[in-house]
Amino acid sequence: MTGRRWRALSAAVVVAATALVAACSSGESRGPGSGEPAGGDPRARITFQLKAEPEEKAVYESLTAAYGKQGGGPVELVPLGRKDHLARLSTAFAAGTPPDVFLLNYREFSPFVLRGAIEPVGPVVEEAGVRLDDYYEEPRAAFTYDGALQCMPQNISSMVVYWNTELFAKAGVAPPTSDWTFDELVAAARALTRGGVKGLGIEPTITRMAPVIWGNGGRVVDDLESPTRLTLDEPAAREALQRMAGLAREVSPDKESQAAQGLLEQFMTGKLAMFMSSRVEVPALREQAGLSFDVAPMPGMKQPAAILHSDAYCIAKGSQNKAAAARFIAYAVGQQGSTITALGGRTVPSLTSVAESPAFLTTAKEPKSSQVFLDNIPNLQHTPVVPAWPEIEDVIETELTRTFLDGVPLDETLKAIRAQADPLLQQR
């Protein structure tokens, strides 16, 4: 994707967003930040660090620009690549100069909240005019710790199946429906695997496998509140993993192919008909010329299940500008802010009213079946909150990869996973 193309996109988004915002604001009685919380000048300059690919960066630029037009203070964006966000956060905190506001994925939430990096966001955003009940409950529950809402959910994404409409048509495979079954998914993946195309990209990560395990009636840990061990070797979980591993060897790109080109890139270039991910891929996929795609639910083997993918706005404990930070967050998750980020394609809004509005559900832009994300909401589950969770994810991926790509027996890798991960899980 060239620089010129995403600059053009960014301009388009800004124009569209400001037009819409202008239309909405007339109907809004309360401006952002009408309540004045304590913690510094509410119009002070704040920094906002987030993980964003170039396509997404444009969305946030329009968000901060619109915030300024509505009388908000200046916001300095610090957009970083996927790998650099965490490293930069750690160093910024260690150096005593954390960003006032940062976006945190639920998967990365645990160490930050457990190690005291976060100023609980609930009271301050409520003071800034946010009515928490307007937001979906699941992400709020996930980001609640010690009885307080720690970070304000921006979105309520979940894992879905992305599918290439053209490859389906070419292979004569019926498009997935909102109630398709796991067997239909497998049949479609097999039918699509031909002539240099693979049917379904499968990543052996716990983020991708957890909903499959839940859908088979299994569980990931013994106790979500205070886990003591992983339960991937319990029959239901084990069976789900075993089926997916077998399927991976059949319909997923092999390791040479994956080392040469990632699953997303293979999907974008028509080498892969389906892959699993959250809402996050939409901006890049919309940018890809000649690609037509849609989303479908990930069917459960026995029952529907979905995994919460959510990002939330957090305020750093050391921030000197908590008032300004709260005011910005209130705007960003408010009607206008949510609408702007939803239009960018990146988010499934956590604000119910926007999620159910055309800004998100529009069929003018791909994916047409955005409703799938909302349908997932009743089935959402999440992984436990323990400080070593990111490392546990890495351990599981490293080991499962051996089974999924190298054909090492599953029982061997499950044993290795428990040996490494259980002690980590018990760390407090």
Binding site for other proteins (CB under 8 A): 86-87, 90-91, 93-94, 111-112, 115-117, 255-257, 259-261, 317, 388, 390-391, 394, 398, 401-402, 405-406
Q: Which is nearer to other proteins, 183 or 254 (CB)?
A: 254
Q: At closest approach, how far in Å is the CB of 37 from other proteins? A: 22
Question: Could you tell me the smallest distance in angstroms from the CB atom of residue 394 to other proteins?
Answer: 8
Return the number of the residue (43 or 317) whose C-beta is nearest other proteins: 317
CB of 205 to other proteins, least distance (A): 13
Non-local (6+) Cβ contacts of 156 within 8 A are: 136, 138, 139, 308, 310, 348, 349, 350, 355, 373, 377, 380
Distance of alpha carbon 213 from alpha carbon 386, whole angstroms: 20
CB of 96 to other proteins, least distance (A): 9
Are residues 104 and 85 in contact, defined by beta-carbon separation less than 8 angstroms?
no
Closer of 93 and 360 to other proteins (Cβ): 93
Q: Given the complex with other proteins, which of 115 and 302 has the nearer CB atom?
A: 115
b/e for 30-54, b at 16 or more Cβ within 10 A?
eebbebebebbebebebbbbbbbbb
CA angle 146, 105, 124 (to 5 degrees): 50
Residue number, 181 or 426, with CB nearest to other proteins: 426
Residue 284 corresponds to which tokens in the numbers above? 């890049």
The burial of 371, by beta-carbon neighbours within 10 Å (0-12 exposed, 13-18 middle, 19 or more buried), is given as middle
Could you tell me which of 268, 166, 220, 232 has the C-alpha nearest to residue 417?
A: 232
> Closest approach of Cβ 87 to other proteins, in Å?
4
Q: Are strands 293-297 and 160-164 parallel, antiparallel or unpaired?
A: antiparallel
Run of H or E residues at 356? none
Shorter beta-carbon distance to other proteins: residue 116 or 290:
116
Helix (H, G, I), strand (E, B) or coil at 227: coil
Closest approach, Cβ 89 to other proteins, in A, equals 8
CB of 332 vs other proteins, minimal distance in Å: 23
| Range list of β-strands (E), 206-327 | 272-277, 293-297, 306-309, 311-316
Tell me the CB-side half-sphere exposure of residue 249, using CA atoms within 13 A.
14
Q: How far is the CB of 390 from other proteins (least distance, A)?
A: 6
Residue 190 or residue 402: which is nearer to other proteins going by CB?
402
Cβ at position 404, least distance to other proteins in Å:
12
| Helices marked H in 288-364 | 322-332, 335-343, 352-355, 358-361
Q: Which CB atom, from 173 or from 245, has the smaller least distance to other proteins?
A: 245
Q: Which helix (H) or strand (E) holds 78?
A: strand 75-80
Nearer to other proteins, 133 or 256 (CB): 256
